[in-house]
Structure 1
Amino acid sequence: MTDQGADKGYLLDNQQSEAGIRFAALAELFDPVTFRHVDRLGITAGMRCWEIGAGGASVPLGLAARVGPGGSVVATDIDTSWTESARDADADGVVEVLRHDVAADPPPPGGFDLVHARLVLVHVTDRAEALRRMVQALRPGGVLLVEDADPGLQPLLCPDESGPEQRLANRLRTGFRELMAARGADLAYGRTLPRRLREAGLDDVRADAYFPITSPACTTLEAATVRQIRTRLVSAGLATDQEIDRHLANVSTGRLDLATSPMISAWGRRPR
Protein backbone atom coordinates (compact mmCIF):
# COMPACT_ATOMS: atom_id res chain seq x y z
CA MET A 1 0.00 0.00 0.00
CA THR A 2 1.36 3.43 -0.90
CA ASP A 3 2.17 5.72 2.03
CA GLN A 4 -0.32 8.58 1.80
CA GLY A 5 0.85 10.34 4.97
CA ALA A 6 2.60 13.14 3.10
CA ASP A 7 -0.28 13.66 0.67
CA LYS A 8 -2.11 16.59 2.21
CA GLY A 9 -4.93 18.78 1.01
CA TYR A 10 -8.63 18.31 0.39
CA LEU A 11 -9.31 14.87 -1.04
CA LEU A 12 -12.39 15.93 -3.05
CA ASP A 13 -11.05 18.67 -5.32
CA ASN A 14 -13.56 21.40 -6.25
CA GLN A 15 -11.88 21.71 -9.65
CA GLN A 16 -13.14 18.30 -10.75
CA SER A 17 -16.39 18.19 -12.73
CA GLU A 18 -17.91 15.74 -10.24
CA ALA A 19 -17.75 18.41 -7.53
CA GLY A 20 -20.88 20.11 -8.83
CA ILE A 21 -22.75 16.80 -8.82
CA ARG A 22 -21.64 16.17 -5.23
CA PHE A 23 -22.72 19.63 -4.09
CA ALA A 24 -26.18 19.19 -5.59
CA ALA A 25 -26.59 15.79 -3.93
CA LEU A 26 -25.38 17.11 -0.57
CA ALA A 27 -27.83 20.00 -0.84
CA GLU A 28 -30.71 17.61 -1.51
CA LEU A 29 -29.72 15.41 1.42
CA PHE A 30 -28.77 17.97 4.05
CA ASP A 31 -30.24 21.42 3.25
CA PRO A 32 -33.56 20.53 4.95
CA VAL A 33 -31.63 19.64 8.12
CA THR A 34 -29.45 22.75 7.99
CA PHE A 35 -32.34 25.14 7.47
CA ARG A 36 -34.49 23.45 10.09
CA HIS A 37 -31.76 24.45 12.55
CA VAL A 38 -31.24 27.89 11.01
CA ASP A 39 -34.93 28.70 11.31
CA ARG A 40 -35.17 27.34 14.83
CA LEU A 41 -32.23 29.54 15.82
CA GLY A 42 -34.14 32.62 14.67
CA ILE A 43 -32.02 33.74 11.73
CA THR A 44 -34.18 36.39 10.10
CA ALA A 45 -34.32 39.73 8.29
CA GLY A 46 -31.42 42.13 8.74
CA MET A 47 -28.98 39.62 10.24
CA ARG A 48 -25.40 39.00 9.18
CA CYS A 49 -24.19 35.46 8.39
CA TRP A 50 -20.84 33.84 7.63
CA GLU A 51 -21.05 30.61 5.60
CA ILE A 52 -17.71 28.75 5.78
CA GLY A 53 -16.59 26.25 3.17
CA ALA A 54 -19.70 27.08 1.21
CA GLY A 55 -18.95 24.87 -1.78
CA GLY A 56 -22.18 25.12 -3.79
CA ALA A 57 -24.70 27.95 -3.82
CA SER A 58 -27.64 26.45 -1.94
CA VAL A 59 -26.79 27.41 1.64
CA PRO A 60 -25.63 31.00 0.90
CA LEU A 61 -28.79 31.60 -1.15
CA GLY A 62 -30.99 30.06 1.53
CA LEU A 63 -29.43 32.33 4.14
CA ALA A 64 -29.79 35.35 1.82
CA ALA A 65 -33.52 34.62 1.46
CA ARG A 66 -33.86 34.70 5.25
CA VAL A 67 -31.84 37.84 6.02
CA GLY A 68 -33.17 39.84 3.03
CA PRO A 69 -31.79 43.03 1.51
CA GLY A 70 -31.17 44.52 4.95
CA GLY A 71 -28.86 41.66 5.91
CA SER A 72 -25.72 40.14 4.50
CA VAL A 73 -24.15 36.74 3.83
CA VAL A 74 -20.40 36.28 3.52
CA ALA A 75 -19.71 32.94 1.79
CA THR A 76 -16.10 31.76 1.96
CA ASP A 77 -14.11 28.79 0.68
CA ILE A 78 -10.52 27.98 -0.21
CA ASP A 79 -11.82 27.42 -3.75
CA THR A 80 -14.82 29.55 -4.74
CA SER A 81 -15.33 27.97 -8.17
CA TRP A 82 -18.82 26.72 -7.31
CA THR A 83 -19.71 29.34 -4.67
CA GLU A 84 -19.59 32.25 -7.12
CA SER A 85 -22.89 31.14 -8.64
CA ALA A 86 -24.57 32.20 -5.38
CA ARG A 87 -23.40 35.77 -5.88
CA ASP A 88 -24.52 35.69 -9.50
CA ALA A 89 -27.99 34.42 -8.54
CA ASP A 90 -28.43 36.93 -5.71
CA ALA A 91 -30.43 39.78 -7.25
CA ASP A 92 -30.37 41.86 -4.03
CA GLY A 93 -26.59 41.87 -3.60
CA VAL A 94 -26.80 40.19 -0.19
CA VAL A 95 -24.15 37.51 -0.85
CA GLU A 96 -20.44 38.34 -0.83
CA VAL A 97 -18.06 35.56 -1.92
CA LEU A 98 -14.48 35.51 -0.63
CA ARG A 99 -11.55 33.13 -1.03
CA HIS A 100 -10.60 32.29 2.55
CA ASP A 101 -8.91 29.61 4.66
CA VAL A 102 -10.76 29.41 7.98
CA ALA A 103 -7.77 27.96 9.85
CA ALA A 104 -5.20 30.45 8.51
CA ASP A 105 -6.92 33.72 7.61
CA PRO A 106 -8.48 36.25 10.00
CA PRO A 107 -12.30 36.14 10.06
CA PRO A 108 -14.06 38.57 7.72
CA PRO A 109 -14.40 41.94 9.47
CA GLY A 110 -17.50 42.75 11.49
CA GLY A 111 -19.38 40.46 13.84
CA PHE A 112 -21.90 37.84 12.73
CA ASP A 113 -25.28 36.75 14.06
CA LEU A 114 -24.70 33.30 12.58
CA VAL A 115 -21.51 31.46 11.72
CA HIS A 116 -22.14 28.15 9.95
CA ALA A 117 -19.94 25.38 8.55
CA ARG A 118 -21.21 22.09 7.12
CA LEU A 119 -18.98 19.10 6.39
CA VAL A 120 -15.91 21.32 6.60
CA LEU A 121 -13.97 20.97 9.85
CA VAL A 122 -13.56 17.19 9.58
CA HIS A 123 -11.25 17.92 6.62
CA VAL A 124 -9.32 20.81 8.27
CA THR A 125 -6.05 19.74 9.89
CA ASP A 126 -5.98 22.61 12.41
CA ARG A 127 -9.59 22.24 13.50
CA ALA A 128 -9.00 23.82 16.91
CA GLU A 129 -7.73 27.06 15.38
CA ALA A 130 -10.53 27.13 12.83
CA LEU A 131 -13.13 26.74 15.57
CA ARG A 132 -11.47 29.45 17.65
CA ARG A 133 -11.70 31.89 14.74
CA MET A 134 -15.33 30.98 14.12
CA VAL A 135 -16.24 31.73 17.74
CA GLN A 136 -14.20 34.94 17.60
CA ALA A 137 -16.31 36.13 14.65
CA LEU A 138 -19.62 35.93 16.56
CA ARG A 139 -21.37 39.01 17.84
CA PRO A 140 -22.48 38.84 21.48
CA GLY A 141 -25.62 36.70 21.33
CA GLY A 142 -24.58 35.27 17.94
CA VAL A 143 -24.90 31.57 17.16
CA LEU A 144 -22.34 29.09 15.89
CA LEU A 145 -23.84 26.12 13.99
CA VAL A 146 -21.34 23.42 13.05
CA GLU A 147 -22.45 20.34 11.14
CA ASP A 148 -19.91 17.62 10.53
CA ALA A 149 -19.69 13.98 9.64
CA ASP A 150 -18.70 11.21 12.02
CA PRO A 151 -17.75 8.22 9.84
CA GLY A 152 -16.63 6.34 12.92
CA LEU A 153 -20.15 6.24 14.35
CA GLN A 154 -21.55 4.47 11.27
CA PRO A 155 -18.71 3.41 8.97
CA LEU A 156 -20.67 1.38 6.40
CA LEU A 157 -21.88 2.51 3.01
CA CYS A 158 -24.34 -0.42 3.06
CA PRO A 159 -25.50 -1.00 6.67
CA ASP A 160 -27.49 -3.98 5.35
CA GLU A 161 -24.50 -5.99 4.14
CA SER A 162 -26.58 -8.69 2.47
CA GLY A 163 -24.46 -9.79 -0.49
CA PRO A 164 -21.24 -9.39 -2.50
CA GLU A 165 -22.30 -6.02 -3.95
CA GLN A 166 -22.76 -4.60 -0.46
CA ARG A 167 -19.50 -6.11 0.79
CA LEU A 168 -17.59 -4.54 -2.11
CA ALA A 169 -19.26 -1.19 -1.44
CA ASN A 170 -18.26 -1.31 2.22
CA ARG A 171 -14.68 -2.26 1.38
CA LEU A 172 -14.36 0.72 -0.97
CA ARG A 173 -15.86 2.97 1.71
CA THR A 174 -13.17 1.70 4.09
CA GLY A 175 -10.58 2.71 1.50
CA PHE A 176 -12.13 6.17 1.26
CA ARG A 177 -11.88 6.57 5.03
CA GLU A 178 -8.21 5.53 4.92
CA LEU A 179 -7.51 8.21 2.32
CA MET A 180 -9.30 10.81 4.44
CA ALA A 181 -7.42 9.85 7.60
CA ALA A 182 -4.09 10.02 5.73
CA ARG A 183 -4.90 13.64 4.90
CA GLY A 184 -5.51 14.55 8.53
CA ALA A 185 -9.29 14.08 8.69
CA ASP A 186 -10.64 13.22 12.15
CA LEU A 187 -13.19 10.47 11.49
CA ALA A 188 -14.63 10.78 15.01
CA TYR A 189 -14.85 14.58 15.06
CA GLY A 190 -18.61 14.98 14.79
CA ARG A 191 -19.38 13.42 18.17
CA THR A 192 -16.98 15.83 19.91
CA LEU A 193 -18.71 19.00 18.73
CA PRO A 194 -20.96 19.60 21.76
CA ARG A 195 -17.99 19.40 24.14
CA ARG A 196 -15.84 21.58 21.92
CA LEU A 197 -18.51 24.28 21.68
CA ARG A 198 -18.88 24.31 25.48
CA GLU A 199 -15.09 24.48 25.90
CA ALA A 200 -15.07 27.45 23.50
CA GLY A 201 -17.31 29.33 25.95
CA LEU A 202 -20.64 29.06 24.13
CA ASP A 203 -23.91 28.82 26.05
CA ASP A 204 -27.00 26.65 25.55
CA VAL A 205 -25.11 24.05 23.52
CA ARG A 206 -27.26 21.41 21.86
CA ALA A 207 -26.81 18.81 19.13
CA ASP A 208 -28.56 16.16 17.07
CA ALA A 209 -27.66 13.81 14.23
CA TYR A 210 -29.09 12.73 10.89
CA PHE A 211 -28.19 10.26 8.19
CA PRO A 212 -30.22 8.82 5.32
CA ILE A 213 -30.02 5.07 4.77
CA THR A 214 -31.28 5.06 1.19
CA SER A 215 -32.08 7.86 -1.23
CA PRO A 216 -31.54 8.62 -4.93
CA ALA A 217 -29.29 11.47 -3.79
CA CYS A 218 -27.13 8.98 -1.86
CA THR A 219 -26.70 7.00 -5.07
CA THR A 220 -25.73 10.13 -7.01
CA LEU A 221 -23.33 11.20 -4.27
CA GLU A 222 -21.61 7.81 -4.12
CA ALA A 223 -21.06 7.58 -7.87
CA ALA A 224 -19.61 11.09 -8.08
CA THR A 225 -17.39 10.58 -5.03
CA VAL A 226 -15.94 7.30 -6.28
CA ARG A 227 -15.22 8.83 -9.68
CA GLN A 228 -13.36 11.67 -7.95
CA ILE A 229 -11.16 9.41 -5.86
CA ARG A 230 -10.77 6.33 -8.07
CA THR A 231 -7.20 7.18 -9.13
CA ARG A 232 -6.19 7.62 -5.49
CA LEU A 233 -7.87 4.38 -4.44
CA VAL A 234 -6.02 2.49 -7.15
CA SER A 235 -2.63 4.14 -6.60
CA ALA A 236 -2.87 3.46 -2.85
CA GLY A 237 -3.59 -0.22 -3.49
CA LEU A 238 -7.02 0.04 -1.89
CA ALA A 239 -8.95 -1.14 -4.96
CA THR A 240 -8.45 -2.16 -8.57
CA ASP A 241 -9.95 -0.44 -11.58
CA GLN A 242 -12.02 -3.57 -12.19
CA GLU A 243 -13.45 -3.46 -8.66
CA ILE A 244 -14.31 0.20 -9.01
CA ASP A 245 -16.01 -0.39 -12.38
CA ARG A 246 -18.01 -3.23 -10.84
CA HIS A 247 -19.02 -1.08 -7.89
CA LEU A 248 -20.11 1.80 -10.13
CA ALA A 249 -22.18 -0.63 -12.20
CA ASN A 250 -23.80 -1.94 -9.01
CA VAL A 251 -24.54 1.60 -7.86
CA SER A 252 -26.07 2.52 -11.23
CA THR A 253 -28.77 -0.13 -10.82
CA GLY A 254 -30.32 1.92 -8.00
CA ARG A 255 -30.92 -1.27 -6.02
CA LEU A 256 -28.26 -0.75 -3.36
CA ASP A 257 -29.32 0.89 -0.10
CA LEU A 258 -26.51 3.42 0.30
CA ALA A 259 -26.14 5.41 3.50
CA THR A 260 -24.09 8.44 4.48
CA SER A 261 -22.04 8.92 7.60
CA PRO A 262 -24.06 10.55 10.37
CA MET A 263 -24.03 14.33 10.16
CA ILE A 264 -23.96 15.79 13.65
CA SER A 265 -25.34 19.32 14.02
CA ALA A 266 -24.20 21.21 17.10
CA TRP A 267 -24.96 24.78 18.04
CA GLY A 268 -24.30 27.24 20.82
CA ARG A 269 -24.61 30.96 21.53
CA ARG A 270 -21.91 33.47 22.43
CA PRO A 271 -22.76 35.07 25.78
CA ARG A 272 -24.15 38.58 25.54
Structure 2
Amino acid sequence: MTAHDPDRGYLLDNRQAEAGVRFGALAELFDPVTFRHVDRLGITAGMRCWEVGAGGPSVAAGLAARVGTGGTVVATDIDVSWAQGIADDVVEVLRHDVAADPPPAGGFDLVHARLVLVHVTDRAEALRRMVQALRPGGVLLLEDADPGLQPLLCPDESGPEQRLANRLRSGFRELMAARGADLAYGRTLPRLLRGAGLEDVQADAYFPITSPACTVLEAATVQQIRGQLVAAGLATDEEIDRHLANVGTGLLDLATAPLVSAWGRRRP
Protein backbone atom coordinates (compact mmCIF):
# COMPACT_ATOMS: atom_id res chain seq x y z
CA MET A 1 0.00 0.00 0.00
CA THR A 2 1.00 3.60 -0.27
CA ALA A 3 0.00 6.94 1.18
CA HIS A 4 -0.40 10.11 -0.84
CA ASP A 5 -1.27 12.26 2.20
CA PRO A 6 1.99 12.72 4.17
CA ASP A 7 0.12 12.83 7.48
CA ARG A 8 -2.08 9.76 7.02
CA GLY A 9 -1.90 6.19 5.81
CA TYR A 10 1.06 3.95 5.13
CA LEU A 11 4.35 5.31 6.47
CA LEU A 12 6.48 3.34 3.98
CA ASP A 13 5.56 4.89 0.64
CA ASN A 14 5.81 2.46 -2.28
CA ARG A 15 6.89 5.31 -4.56
CA GLN A 16 10.25 5.62 -2.80
CA ALA A 17 13.27 3.88 -4.34
CA GLU A 18 13.89 1.84 -1.18
CA ALA A 19 10.48 0.17 -1.53
CA GLY A 20 11.80 -2.36 -4.04
CA VAL A 21 14.63 -3.31 -1.68
CA ARG A 22 12.13 -3.74 1.14
CA PHE A 23 9.85 -5.93 -1.00
CA GLY A 24 12.79 -8.17 -1.86
CA ALA A 25 13.83 -8.54 1.78
CA LEU A 26 10.24 -9.22 2.90
CA ALA A 27 9.92 -11.86 0.20
CA GLU A 28 13.09 -13.60 1.37
CA LEU A 29 11.96 -13.50 4.99
CA PHE A 30 8.29 -14.37 4.67
CA ASP A 31 7.51 -16.04 1.32
CA PRO A 32 8.47 -19.47 2.71
CA VAL A 33 5.98 -18.92 5.56
CA THR A 34 3.23 -17.72 3.23
CA PHE A 35 3.61 -20.57 0.77
CA ARG A 36 3.84 -23.18 3.51
CA HIS A 37 0.32 -22.11 4.45
CA VAL A 38 -0.86 -21.74 0.84
CA ASP A 39 0.25 -25.27 0.00
CA ARG A 40 -1.23 -26.71 3.19
CA LEU A 41 -4.55 -25.06 2.32
CA GLY A 42 -4.60 -26.88 -1.03
CA ILE A 43 -4.28 -24.00 -3.49
CA THR A 44 -3.79 -25.82 -6.78
CA ALA A 45 -4.37 -25.71 -10.54
CA GLY A 46 -7.43 -23.91 -11.85
CA MET A 47 -8.20 -21.88 -8.72
CA ARG A 48 -8.88 -18.15 -8.45
CA CYS A 49 -6.81 -16.13 -5.96
CA TRP A 50 -6.93 -12.51 -4.83
CA GLU A 51 -3.62 -11.10 -3.57
CA VAL A 52 -4.57 -7.97 -1.59
CA GLY A 53 -2.05 -5.15 -1.18
CA ALA A 54 0.38 -7.01 -3.38
CA GLY A 55 3.23 -4.49 -3.20
CA GLY A 56 6.02 -6.50 -4.79
CA PRO A 57 5.55 -9.34 -7.28
CA SER A 58 6.70 -12.42 -5.39
CA VAL A 59 3.48 -13.69 -3.80
CA ALA A 60 1.35 -13.14 -6.89
CA ALA A 61 3.97 -14.93 -9.00
CA GLY A 62 4.07 -17.85 -6.57
CA LEU A 63 0.29 -18.14 -6.60
CA ALA A 64 0.30 -18.03 -10.40
CA ALA A 65 2.74 -20.93 -10.50
CA ARG A 66 0.32 -22.95 -8.38
CA VAL A 67 -2.94 -22.19 -10.19
CA GLY A 68 -1.45 -22.49 -13.68
CA THR A 69 -2.93 -21.37 -16.96
CA GLY A 70 -6.38 -22.60 -15.98
CA GLY A 71 -6.44 -20.36 -12.91
CA THR A 72 -6.41 -16.65 -12.15
CA VAL A 73 -4.53 -14.41 -9.73
CA VAL A 74 -5.82 -10.88 -9.20
CA ALA A 75 -3.11 -8.72 -7.59
CA THR A 76 -4.34 -5.41 -6.21
CA ASP A 77 -2.86 -2.42 -4.41
CA ILE A 78 -3.28 1.33 -4.15
CA ASP A 79 0.09 1.61 -5.92
CA VAL A 80 0.63 -1.23 -8.41
CA SER A 81 3.88 0.06 -9.93
CA TRP A 82 6.01 -2.73 -8.42
CA ALA A 83 3.68 -5.51 -9.59
CA GLN A 84 3.01 -4.40 -13.16
CA GLY A 85 5.79 -6.53 -14.59
CA ILE A 86 4.06 -9.81 -13.70
CA ALA A 87 0.74 -9.14 -15.47
CA ASP A 88 0.07 -11.91 -18.01
CA ASP A 89 -2.63 -14.43 -18.98
CA VAL A 90 -2.81 -15.67 -15.35
CA VAL A 91 -2.06 -12.55 -13.29
CA GLU A 92 -4.29 -9.49 -13.51
CA VAL A 93 -2.97 -6.35 -11.76
CA LEU A 94 -5.51 -3.76 -10.58
CA ARG A 95 -5.27 -0.48 -8.72
CA HIS A 96 -7.64 -0.98 -5.79
CA ASP A 97 -8.32 0.21 -2.23
CA VAL A 98 -9.44 -2.80 -0.21
CA ALA A 99 -11.31 -0.69 2.36
CA ALA A 100 -13.14 1.50 -0.16
CA ASP A 101 -13.58 -0.32 -3.48
CA PRO A 102 -15.86 -3.31 -4.17
CA PRO A 103 -13.99 -6.64 -4.32
CA PRO A 104 -12.89 -7.76 -7.77
CA ALA A 105 -15.67 -9.69 -9.46
CA GLY A 106 -15.85 -13.43 -9.77
CA GLY A 107 -15.34 -14.87 -6.30
CA PHE A 108 -12.13 -16.47 -5.05
CA ASP A 109 -10.88 -19.78 -3.69
CA LEU A 110 -8.16 -17.89 -1.78
CA VAL A 111 -7.95 -14.32 -0.56
CA HIS A 112 -4.56 -13.43 0.91
CA ALA A 113 -3.13 -10.26 2.46
CA ARG A 114 0.31 -9.96 4.09
CA LEU A 115 1.40 -6.94 6.12
CA VAL A 116 -1.56 -4.95 4.82
CA LEU A 117 -4.39 -4.61 7.31
CA VAL A 118 -2.18 -3.45 10.17
CA HIS A 119 -1.75 -0.22 8.17
CA VAL A 120 -5.36 0.18 6.94
CA THR A 121 -7.40 2.68 8.94
CA ASP A 122 -10.74 0.96 8.31
CA ARG A 123 -9.52 -2.57 8.94
CA ALA A 124 -12.98 -3.90 9.79
CA GLU A 125 -14.41 -2.83 6.44
CA ALA A 126 -11.44 -4.23 4.56
CA LEU A 127 -11.89 -7.57 6.31
CA ARG A 128 -15.61 -7.59 5.54
CA ARG A 129 -14.93 -7.04 1.84
CA MET A 130 -12.34 -9.81 1.71
CA VAL A 131 -14.71 -12.30 3.36
CA GLN A 132 -17.44 -11.19 0.93
CA ALA A 133 -15.14 -12.07 -1.98
CA LEU A 134 -14.73 -15.71 -0.94
CA ARG A 135 -16.49 -18.45 -2.84
CA PRO A 136 -18.29 -21.05 -0.70
CA GLY A 137 -15.49 -23.17 0.77
CA GLY A 138 -12.91 -20.50 -0.06
CA VAL A 139 -10.12 -19.62 2.36
CA LEU A 140 -9.01 -16.26 3.76
CA LEU A 141 -5.33 -16.17 4.78
CA LEU A 142 -4.29 -13.03 6.67
CA GLU A 143 -0.71 -12.40 7.77
CA ASP A 144 0.07 -9.34 9.84
CA ALA A 145 2.74 -8.05 12.16
CA ASP A 146 2.34 -7.65 15.89
CA PRO A 147 5.12 -5.30 17.07
CA GLY A 148 3.56 -5.25 20.53
CA LEU A 149 4.34 -8.94 21.02
CA GLN A 150 8.06 -8.45 20.29
CA PRO A 151 8.96 -4.75 20.01
CA LEU A 152 12.77 -4.96 19.82
CA LEU A 153 15.00 -4.79 16.77
CA CYS A 154 17.78 -6.34 18.88
CA PRO A 155 16.24 -8.77 21.40
CA ASP A 156 19.75 -9.32 22.82
CA GLU A 157 20.34 -5.72 23.95
CA SER A 158 23.98 -6.25 24.83
CA GLY A 159 25.62 -2.89 24.12
CA PRO A 160 25.24 0.71 22.92
CA GLU A 161 24.74 -0.32 19.31
CA GLN A 162 21.80 -2.52 20.26
CA ARG A 163 20.32 0.12 22.56
CA LEU A 164 20.44 2.70 19.76
CA ALA A 165 18.84 0.21 17.37
CA ASN A 166 16.00 -0.45 19.80
CA ARG A 167 15.44 3.26 20.41
CA LEU A 168 15.13 3.91 16.68
CA ARG A 169 12.75 0.95 16.37
CA SER A 170 10.66 2.50 19.13
CA GLY A 171 10.58 5.71 17.10
CA PHE A 172 9.45 3.75 14.03
CA ARG A 173 6.58 2.26 16.04
CA GLU A 174 5.62 5.72 17.27
CA LEU A 175 5.44 7.00 13.70
CA MET A 176 3.35 4.01 12.64
CA ALA A 177 0.91 4.43 15.52
CA ALA A 178 0.52 8.14 14.71
CA ARG A 179 -0.67 7.12 11.23
CA GLY A 180 -3.29 4.73 12.55
CA ALA A 181 -1.38 1.43 12.54
CA ASP A 182 -2.59 -1.07 15.16
CA LEU A 183 0.59 -2.42 16.74
CA ALA A 184 -1.29 -5.27 18.43
CA TYR A 185 -3.33 -6.30 15.40
CA GLY A 186 -1.67 -9.60 14.54
CA ARG A 187 -2.78 -11.35 17.73
CA THR A 188 -6.42 -10.46 17.06
CA LEU A 189 -6.64 -12.24 13.69
CA PRO A 190 -8.03 -15.59 14.89
CA ARG A 191 -10.80 -13.88 16.85
CA LEU A 192 -11.62 -11.58 13.93
CA LEU A 193 -11.83 -14.46 11.46
CA ARG A 194 -14.17 -16.36 13.76
CA GLY A 195 -16.24 -13.20 14.24
CA ALA A 196 -16.52 -12.90 10.45
CA GLY A 197 -18.20 -16.30 10.36
CA LEU A 198 -15.29 -18.33 9.02
CA GLU A 199 -14.79 -21.95 10.05
CA ASP A 200 -11.76 -24.09 10.90
CA VAL A 201 -9.81 -21.01 12.05
CA GLN A 202 -6.15 -21.64 12.91
CA ALA A 203 -3.05 -19.49 13.32
CA ASP A 204 0.66 -19.49 14.02
CA ALA A 205 3.45 -16.92 14.28
CA TYR A 206 7.01 -16.55 13.03
CA PHE A 207 9.81 -14.07 13.43
CA PRO A 208 13.39 -14.43 12.22
CA ILE A 209 16.52 -13.34 14.07
CA THR A 210 19.89 -12.75 12.39
CA SER A 211 18.82 -13.33 8.81
CA PRO A 212 20.85 -11.32 6.28
CA ALA A 213 17.48 -10.16 4.92
CA CYS A 214 16.75 -8.55 8.30
CA THR A 215 19.83 -6.38 7.79
CA VAL A 216 18.75 -5.39 4.27
CA LEU A 217 15.21 -4.68 5.47
CA GLU A 218 16.35 -2.51 8.37
CA ALA A 219 18.72 -0.39 6.28
CA ALA A 220 16.08 0.24 3.60
CA THR A 221 13.38 0.99 6.18
CA VAL A 222 15.48 3.50 8.10
CA GLN A 223 16.52 5.21 4.89
CA GLN A 224 12.84 5.55 3.95
CA ILE A 225 11.75 7.06 7.27
CA ARG A 226 14.83 9.00 8.35
CA GLY A 227 13.24 12.32 7.43
CA GLN A 228 10.17 11.56 9.54
CA LEU A 229 12.31 10.37 12.47
CA VAL A 230 14.31 13.59 12.44
CA ALA A 231 11.29 15.85 11.90
CA ALA A 232 9.49 14.24 14.86
CA GLY A 233 12.51 14.66 17.13
CA LEU A 234 12.86 10.90 17.54
CA ALA A 235 16.45 10.75 16.26
CA THR A 236 19.18 12.97 14.89
CA ASP A 237 20.85 12.57 11.53
CA GLU A 238 24.06 11.65 13.36
CA GLU A 239 22.31 8.89 15.29
CA ILE A 240 20.73 7.53 12.12
CA ASP A 241 24.07 7.52 10.31
CA ARG A 242 25.66 5.74 13.27
CA HIS A 243 22.88 3.16 13.34
CA LEU A 244 23.12 2.50 9.59
CA ALA A 245 26.89 2.02 9.99
CA ASN A 246 26.27 -0.43 12.83
CA VAL A 247 23.73 -2.31 10.71
CA GLY A 248 26.18 -2.37 7.82
CA THR A 249 28.71 -4.36 9.85
CA GLY A 250 26.32 -7.33 9.82
CA LEU A 251 27.16 -7.98 13.48
CA LEU A 252 23.85 -6.92 15.01
CA ASP A 253 21.41 -9.76 15.67
CA LEU A 254 18.38 -8.09 14.11
CA ALA A 255 14.83 -9.38 14.40
CA THR A 256 11.42 -8.49 13.03
CA ALA A 257 8.07 -8.16 14.72
CA PRO A 258 6.26 -11.52 14.75
CA LEU A 259 4.28 -12.29 11.61
CA VAL A 260 0.98 -13.83 12.71
CA SER A 261 -0.64 -16.00 10.02
CA ALA A 262 -4.33 -16.85 10.51
CA TRP A 263 -6.71 -18.63 8.17
CA GLY A 264 -10.32 -19.69 8.02
CA ARG A 265 -12.76 -21.12 5.51
CA ARG A 266 -16.12 -19.82 4.33
CA ARG A 267 -18.94 -22.30 4.81
CA PRO A 268 -19.48 -24.43 1.67
TM range (shorter): over 0.9
Q: CA deviation at 1:10?
A: 1.1
Could you report, residue by residue, the CA deviation over 1:54-104 in whole angstroms, capped at 9, with x for unpaired residues?
Answer: 0111000000000000000000000001011221xx4xx100000000000
**Rounded Cα–Cα distance in structure 2 between residues aligned with 1:161 and 1:41:** 38
| RMSD, matched Cα | 0.7
Runs of 4+ aligned residues of structure 1 deviating over 3 Å after TM superposition are none
Aligned to 1:139: 135
Paired amino acid for 2:223: R
1:212 aligns to what SS in structure 2?
A: coil
Aligned to 2:166: 170
Aligned to 2:200: 204
**Rounded Cα–Cα distance in structure 1 between residues aligned with 2:123 and 2:83:** 22
- 5+ residue gaps, structure 1, are 1-5
Alignment coverage as a number of residue pairs: 263
**Rounded Cα–Cα distance in structure 2 between residues aligned with 1:73 and 1:7:** 33
Aligned to 1:3: none
**Identity in percent:** 85
Map 1:86-235; keep pairs closer than 5 Å: 86-87=86-87, 90=88, 93-235=89-231
2:142 aligns to what SS in structure 1?
A: strand
- 5+ residue gaps, structure 2, are 1-5
Paired amino acid for 1:52: V
Map 1:38-117; keep pairs closer than 5 Å: 38-87=38-87, 90=88, 93-117=89-113
Q: CA deviation at 1:7?
A: 1.6
Aligned to 2:18: 18
Could you report, residue by residue, the CA deviation over 1:203-224 in whole angstroms, capped at 9, with x for unpaired residues?
Answer: 0000000000111000000000
**Rounded Cα–Cα distance in structure 1 between residues aligned with 2:186 and 2:26:** 17
**Rounded Cα–Cα distance in structure 1 between residues aligned with 2:244 and 2:223:** 9
Matched, 1:237 2:233: yes
Question: Structure 2 length as normaliser, TM-score?
Answer: 0.97
